[in-house]
Each structure stands twice: as C-alpha cells, then as structure tokens.
Amino acid sequence: DVKVTQSSRYLVKRTGEKVFLECVQDMDHENMFWYRQDPGLGLRLIYFSYDVKMKEKGDIPEGYSVSREKKERFSLILESASTNQTSMYLCASSHAIVEQYFGPGTRLTVT
Amino acid sequence: AQSVTQLDSQVPVFEEAPVELRCNYSSSVSVYLFWYVQYPNQGLQLLLKYLSGSTLVESINGFEAEFNKSQTSFHLRKPSVHISDTAEYFCAVTSSNTGKLIFGQGTTLQVKP
C-alpha cells in the first residue's frame, strides 16, 4: 500500500527558530512536493523535486528551502520561522506526472 | 496559466439528498483533472480522476464527475449522501506539460442527519 509519512503531526515553534519538516515515501516515486494549506486558499505549492538533489520553486517559495539527498526523503526547511508561516503543511509524492499521494500533514504553529 | 475555481466554499445538505460540488478550470493546454477528499485531521485522498477516454468517471463510494471540455468544468456529484461523506473536497488540475497540481480553494460538504 502506498505510504507517505511526515515526521510530526503537530509542531509548535518560536519566531526566528529554524524548523525542519521531514517527509518519507516508500513507493520509489521520483516526484515529491511540499504544499501549505490555509482556509479559503486551498493548497499552494511551495517546492517540488523531480529527482534526487533537484528542486524547483513552486508558487510560494519565499521563506522556505528544501533538501532531497535521498530519493525517498524530502525535507522542508524554514530558515527563520515567522508567525505568517503558521499553517498545515502537506507532503506528496508521485510517479510520472499525474496522481499524487499525500501524507497526513503537519500542523505548524509559530508563536 | 492554469487556475481552478470551486464555486461554493460550503455546501450543507441533508443525509440521503443529492449533492453537486462545482469546479471550473482554465487552461490553454490539455489537462488531467482530479477530485481529492480530506476527512478531518487527515491528509488528502484521491477520490477520482480524469486522464482520457470516457468523460464520466466514478469512485468506489458512489461519487461521479463529468469532464465537460466546452464548459471547462469537472463537477462532482453523488445521488444520495451519507453522514460519512462530511469532509472537504478539492478539485485539482495538471497539464501534461508541467505535472504540477493546481488546486481549487476547497468545498466543505456538511451532511446533516
């Protein structure tokens, strides 16, 4: 069965902290994605990766970076967390360019 | 650029009534269309998808959607809803050129007893 896991379901961090969100998939998918979900805005793409060590900016990359050192793992990094980054973060993976499989999400609160 | 509009942010409906969740998209190239469902405190799950072929696609739990190219729509329907269908529903589009999913704003389906 397809599985995407995220390191934390809930996370509380202070303004200015460096935050790491981890995502692991066990399906040997080449594509991985990070989204943030906010009420009334749907899901917005932050970064995605089509291969190891490869990354591309999505629609809202400002304030975020990513790392993909291994095929199964895709990390989202908030270099200096701010309150406007309080949100639900969803990771997804896919094979080829269609159907994406999502993790359960990490609800991040920055205080 | 591609975009997706879900015309209703909330749809309240009584149990066993029919429901339609509306989705319109804009794109200058061929598209693939998806409906995802998100139950409370969970990630998104694929409900159904249109890639090619028959314009009417169905899910295993009674939902269906019809791809209408002339009206650029992909509305989701169910003839009789259950309490367990209460969730948020997202319409999404991707093109064969990019592979990136563009999501609508989401529609919350509230099924009342």
Sign of torsion over alpha carbons A97, A99, A104, A105: positive
Share of chain A above pLDDT 70, in %: 97
Mean pLDDT, chain A, rounded, equals 93
- pLDDT bucket at B30, cuts 50 / 70 / 90: confident
Sign of torsion over alpha carbons B97, A88, A90, A39: negative
Q: Which of A40, A90, A105 sits opposite B9 (nearest CB)?
A: A40
Q: With CA atoms as reference, report the closest residue to B19 among B105, B91, B79, B75.
A: B79
- Confidence at residue B96, expressed as pLDDT on a 0 to 100 scale: 63
Residue B1, C-beta contacts closer than 8 angstroms, at least 6 positions apart:
none
CA distance B18 to B11: 11
Q: Do B104 and A42 touch (CB under 8 A)?
A: yes
Tell me how close the Cα of B110 comes to any Cα of chain A, in angstroms. 16
**CA A8 to chain CA mean position, Å:** 12
Between A70 and B51, name the one with better pLDDT. A70
Q: With CA atoms as reference, report the closest residue to B19 among B75, B91, B88.
A: B75
In order of A49, A89, B57, B66, B88, the CA distances from A108 in angstroms are 22, 7, 36, 36, 20
Q: Is the pLDDT of residue B90 over 90?
A: yes
Between B98 and A100, name the one with better pLDDT. A100
Q: Coil, strand, or helix at residue B85?
A: helix
- Confidence at residue B97, expressed as pLDDT on a 0 to 100 scale: 64
Q: Do A97 and B103 touch (CB under 8 A)?
A: no
Inter-chain Cβ pairs, chain A and chain B, closer than 8 A: 53
pLDDT tens column, B4-28 = 999 999 999 999 999 999 999 998 7
Q: Which of B44, B51, B98 sits opposite A90 (nearest CB)?
A: B44
pLDDT tens column, A10-69 = 999 999 999 999 999 999 999 999 999 998 888 999 999 988 988 999 999 999 999 999
CA distance A55 to A74: 10
**Greatest extent of chain B over all pairs of C-alpha atoms, in Å:** 44
Query: Nearest chain B Cα to A40, which residue?
Result: B105
Q: Any CB–CB contact under 8 A between A94 and chain B?
A: yes
Mean pLDDT, chain B, rounded, equals 91
Tell me how close the Cα of A27 comes to any Cα of chain B, in angstroms. 16
Q: Any CB–CB contact under 8 A between A1 and chain B?
A: no
Q: Any CB–CB contact under 8 A between A21 and chain B?
A: no
Q: Which regions of chain A does DSSP assign to beta strands (E)?
A: 4-6, 10-13, 19-25, 31-38, 42-49, 56-57, 64-70, 73-78, 87-94, 100-102, 106-110
